[in-house]
Amino acid sequence: MTPHRFPIRVYYEDTDMAGIVYHANYLKFIERARSDWVRGLGIDQRQMKEEDGLVFVVRRIEADYIASAHFDDTLEVVTTTRTVTAARLIMHQEVMRGKDLVFQAEVTVVCVNETGHPARLPANIRLLLH
């Protein structure tokens, strides 16, 4: 599957007093990229919740902070599918500044039902992710 690319501009609100991106904001950046990627695949998460009672939730994130990003930097989040099983999706996400790696994470996403219990990823979605 072709990596998904999502541009990000670092705004003042994303930074600390030194003008460096606050560490928690990288999680927001990669979340936005995942949401854009899923939408681009044609998956309507709102419809999935209303019709199937299923939502995606992050189960695990392993994050590495490599370098600092700064106010007004142009970044790109690159999302690649690592593993798709009946119950989980594992992605690798990188935040790049040009050719420089700034941040990377392995993200495990699962589905849960209306009661919060684990559920299988719908078959049509698993097919889209392969």
Mind telling me the catalytic residues? 16
Q: For residues 80 and 34, is the Cβ–Cβ distance under 8 A?
A: no
Beta bridge partners of 36: none
Beta bridge partners of 50: none
- For residue 29 the two structure tokens come to 């950046």
Single-letter amino acid, residue 76: E
